[in-house]
Amino acid sequence: MIIMKFGGTSVEDAKAIKNLTEIVKKEIPRKPIVIVSACSGITNQLLQTANLAAEGKKEEALNLVAKIESHHKKIVKDLFDGDTQRFLTKHLASIAEELAALVNGVVVLGELTNRSLDTFASIGERMSSFIIHHYFESQKLKSFWVDARSFMITDDQFTKAIPQFDIIERKLREIVEPKVNNGYVVISQGFIGSTVNGVTTTIGRGGSDYSAAIIGALLNAEDIQIWTDVDGILSSDPSVVKDAKKIKVMSFNEAAELAYFGARVLHPETILPAVKKNIPVRVLNSKNPSSSGTLIVANPKTDKHCIVKSIAYKEGITMISIVSTRMFLATGFLENVFDVFHKYRTVVHTVATSEVSVSATIDNIKNLSHIIKELKQFATVTATDKKAIICIVGDNLRNTPGLAVRMLSAITDVNINMISQGASEINLSFVVDEDQVDDAVRRLHKELFANAGSFPEIFE
Ligand code: ADP
Ligand code: ASP
Ligand code: MG
């Protein structure tokens, strides 16, 4: 069995769905489970609808509902005729009614909770997957549509709910596996789930990759395929570096670091379930299916001379500097600092420390004022926003002297606020001003990938 996950651009219109269907057909002997995202842009529009409703802008919100409905109706019109077209058009209208009722509810209450936001957001995946299921059937595929909320059980941290693996495994074995074994192509949604009590949740933006990995790991899939709109994982974000190279093969560790530090192509949580079961992950291009994509495995064959695999970056970072002379030579300083971040459930991305100071970066500033207030009880604290982290990743970064010098000399005029090397030693990250990040990434790429052509087995 394999998992085939198709992202937003791979399901965006009738042409994309036809294309996806051809890709799935070729894999029928390997028993695919197909996991889809909402059509490109739809999740954003759904969240925008919710926010307009919360602001009391009912008419604008309902206009957006109509736009979302007509986007999907157009796909249905392009893909089907006759009874199926009528049936699906009615089905979409009833989901749009549900959405309009949600808008009314939020307008009346004047309040938008994360719980309601998840119900809004879930609609994109529900619409896209239902259309695709019917297209599969029209193409004589034996297709079985499952509502992911019947098996993707999560806790109730709405908008970033945590999947409950034990229950999910049991449900998958009950609901999904028998259908796969009976020769059905199972089609379901990424991103969405439900609490044990049946309340709709989502597992975080971009979370369909994670859904696919969870299902793949729990059902011991042979392969987890992430179909997207680029040829694979590239040596940097192609929207910044035009001549970024495709990476043919990389390690789980490298992919995890890249995802964590902002390479949107994979959701950061995706790799872990695959690592646990040692299931290869492939990133493939649905617009160019003959390309071999990027293969991510535990221990790829590697060339020790190839040091850097990719450069990722993450914007919207706030850097917090914490200095305490009182704590000089005292134990417990770091513990106190991290206790504060932990208390406010704020993830720290990078840290650099000395005996009396710590620099830390975060992107979730929801509780920043509380964090600063508490840190100020034992230290001098400054927080600066509009920063970006640049992260250079490669398994061979460890044991490679001189890289930092090469890197810094490529960007001598860029102000570097902080440098940190992760304990895994496969990433080197540093913090720069946000407005310098694109330029810095381009120059670093030019310097560090000048010899990429010498590694034809790694880059393409
Ligand atoms: P999907 O909707 O298929 O999940 P995403 O938009 O989430 O697609 O991710 C794919 C996008 O990630 C690409 O179009 C590309 O712009 C961006 N991206 C950022 N960094 C990288 C990278 N290192 N390699 C490939 N793509 C990247
Ligand atoms: N549709 C969701 C999002 O846009 C999940 C995904 O595409 O992975 O965040
Ligand atoms: Mg994505």
Which tens digit of pLDDT belongs to each residue from 416-455? 998 888 767 899 999 999 999 999 999 999 999 999 999 9
Sequence-distant (6+) residues with CB within 8 A of 398 are: 425, 426
Q: Is 9 in the pocket of ligand 1 (CB under 6 A)?
A: yes
Q: How far is the CA of 257 from the centre of ligand 3 (A)?
A: 16
Q: How far is the CA of 229 from the centre of ligand 1 (A)?
A: 7
Q: Is 307 in the pocket of ligand 1 (CB under 6 A)?
A: no
Which CATH number does the domain 2-229 belong to among 3.30.300.180, 3.50.20.10, 3.40.1160.10, 3.40.50.300?
Answer: 3.40.1160.10
Q: What is the pLDDT of residue 330?
A: 64
Q: Whose CA is nearest to atom 2 of ligand 2?
A: 206
Place of tokens 């704020």: 346
Locate the ligand 2 atom nearest the alpha carbon of residue 204 and give its number: 9
Q: Which residues pair with 147 in a beta bridge?
A: none
Cα-flanking dihedrals φ and ψ of residue 310, to 5°? Answer: -160, 160
Which CATH number does the domain 310-454 belong to among 1.10.3720.10, 3.30.1540.10, 3.30.2130.10, 3.40.190.10?
Answer: 3.30.2130.10
What's the pLDDT tens digit per position in 299-316? 998 888 898 999 999 999
**pLDDT tens by residue, the chain, 460 residues:** 999 999 999 999 999 999 999 999 999 999 999 999 999 999 999 999 999 999 999 999 999 999 999 999 999 999 999 999 999 999 999 999 999 999 999 999 999 999 999 999 999 999 999 999 999 999 999 999 999 999 999 999 999 999 999 999 999 999 999 999 999 999 999 999 999 999 999 999 999 999 999 999 999 999 999 999 999 999 999 999 999 999 999 999 999 999 999 899 999 899 999 999 999 999 999 999 999 999 999 999 888 889 899 999 999 999 999 998 665 556 788 888 999 999 999 999 888 887 778 899 999 999 999 999 999 998 999 999 999 999 999 998 887 778 888 888 999 999 999 888 876 789 999 999 999 999 999 999 999 999 999 999 999 9
Look up residue 214 and give its two tokens.
Answer: 């969870």
Ligand nearest to the CA of 293: 1
The domain spans of the chain are: 2-229, 310-454
Q: Which residues surround ligand 3, an ion (CB under 5 A)?
A: 7, 206
Say if residues 109 and 54 touch (Cβ distance below 8 Å).
Answer: no
Q: How far is the CA of 26 from the centre of ligand 2 (A)?
A: 25
β-strand pairing of 294-297 with 223-228 = unpaired
Smallest CA-to-CA distance from 190 within 216, 170, 169, 167 is with: 216
β-strand pairing of 2-6 with 294-297 = unpaired
Q: How far is the CA of 444 from the centre of ligand 1 (A)?
A: 20
End-to-end Cα separation, the chain, in angstroms: 29
Q: What is the pTM of this model?
A: 0.94
Q: Is 302 in the pocket of ligand 2 (CB under 6 A)?
A: no
Q: Is 265 in the pocket of ligand 1 (CB under 6 A)?
A: yes
Q: What is the pLDDT of residue 407?
A: 87
For the chain, give me the number of helices (H) and strands (E)? 14, 16
Q: What is the pLDDT of residue 329?
A: 54
Q: How far is the CA of 65 from the centre of ligand 2 (A)?
A: 18
